[in-house]
Amino acid sequence: MATPIKLNQLRTFVEINRHGSIRAASRSLSLSQPALTKSMRELEDALGATLFIRSNQGVYLTECGTSFLQRANLILEELRSAQEDIQQRVGVLDGVVNVGIAGSLTRTIMPKVITQFHRDYPNVKLRIVEGQLLTMLPLLRQGELNFTVNTYYPGSLDAELNFEKLMEKEYKVIVRKGHPKANATSLEELVNCNWTMPTPKGTYYCRLFESFSSLETPPVFRVTCETLMACMSLVAASDFVTIVAVDVVAEAQFDQQFVALDLEEQLPFAIFGLIQRKDAKLTPAGEHLARLFRMYCRT
């Protein structure tokens, strides 16, 4: 019969990996180093596998450790979520909701949603992660994000993720004020420019790459910026070209630094949706936050 694994062993394993050493994990958990070493030895004995490689510089996951980490994280996050779910249902309205947001929404819809949510659940803490869907996949898989509101491109992720369409957004090509191509009227005029965009894999930008492939000379994307702030900062201070949602173009301060080009070509619309693991269950607070995103995205 297999030796049962204890929750404190999972917490020890996750904390040692998070901090990179037993000494740092012992301080975080307020436990002695011998106690953590014993807990890890018992966990490895129960699994019949070595999870860490020990060295003078710290500890490193083995192949088995890397595989086990995802499941350990998910178990602990699901347990935390289950406890908060019950507490919220009996009237204890606190806990944590972790959500991922596409960069263009952090400056438009997100502030309205978060302000309303904080009024409704003032004691629930929120953690917001900005970025593209692909950068959030490990967090979604490990239960460290409850859901994300992001662009989605159908493909290999359909088997593990639920996608609920919320809205479509138009995108525009932008440059800095005074850019040599500020009066361009077609993509052909921009093909020799330096372009920057988030990763094209599996997101709205994959659709852009497909549309650009029809050009005689497609643009070359030389710099990948995973956040909107990094992308906008680069464009503002250089001759790089990028693409942003029309919501960003409509911001009050946009015209002070940027120009949105009126091109002959129609860029594909981005489809935004609420994305979560198929086996994920939201707490009442998490479900309320999801409802607010649905409401504000569809108005």
Q: What is the pLDDT of residues 275-293, one digit of tens each?
A: 999 988 999 999 999 999 9
Domain-located, residue 30: yes
| Averaged pLDDT, 261-269 | 90
Instruction: Indicate whether 230 belongs to any domain.
Output: yes
Residue 276 and residue 263 share a domain: no
The token duo for 139 is 């967090």
In a domain, 151, yes or no: yes
Q: Which residue has the higher pLDDT, 79 or 294?
A: 294
Q: Which amino acid is at 158?
A: D
* Shared-domain flag, residues 179 and 160: no
Same-domain status, 184 and 123: no
- Mean pLDDT over residues 149-161, rounded? 81
Number of structural domains found in the chain: 3
Tokens representing residue 273 in the block: 């949706």
User: Do both 48 and 18 map to the same domain?
Assistant: yes
Query: DSSP characters for 208-260?
Result: HHHHHTTSSS---EEEE-SSHHHHHHHHHTSS-BEEEEHHHHTSTTHHHHEEE
Identify whether 200 is part of a domain. yes
Pair (291, 156) in one structural domain: yes
Whether residues 140 and 278 fall in one domain? yes
Q: Are residues 185 and 259 in the same domain?
A: yes
Does pTM top 0.85 for this prediction? no
147 with 192, same domain: the answer is no
Task: Looking at the structure, tell me whether residues 128 and 200 fall in a common domain.
Answer: no
DSSP-derived letter for residue 164 is E
Q: What sign does the CA torsion over 121, 127, 131, 137 have?
A: negative
In a domain? residue 178: yes
On whether both 161 and 214 belong to a single domain, the answer is no
Q: Give the span between the Cα atoms of 109 and 127, in whole angstroms.
A: 16
Indicate the pLDDT class of residue 212, thresholds 50, 70 and 90: confident
- Does the structure show a pLDDT above 90 at 222? no
161-182: pLDDT as tens digits: 999 999 999 999 999 999 999 9
Domain, as residue range, for 22 = 7-71
CATH of residue 27's domain is 1.10.10.10
User: Using 50, 70 and 90 to split pLDDT, how confident is the model at 32?
Assistant: very high
What is the CATH number for 142? 3.40.190.10
123 and 245 in a single domain? The answer is no
Give percent of the chain with pLDDT exceeding 90: 52
Question: Is residue 108 included in any domain, yes or no?
Answer: yes
Cβ atoms of 207 and 268 closer than 8 Å: yes
Residue 201 has pLDDT above 80, yes or no: no
User: Do both 246 and 113 map to the same domain?
Assistant: no
Residues near 217 by beta carbon (within 8 Å), at least 6 away in sequence: 188, 191
- Residue 33 covered by a domain: yes
Confirm whether 83 is domain-assigned. no
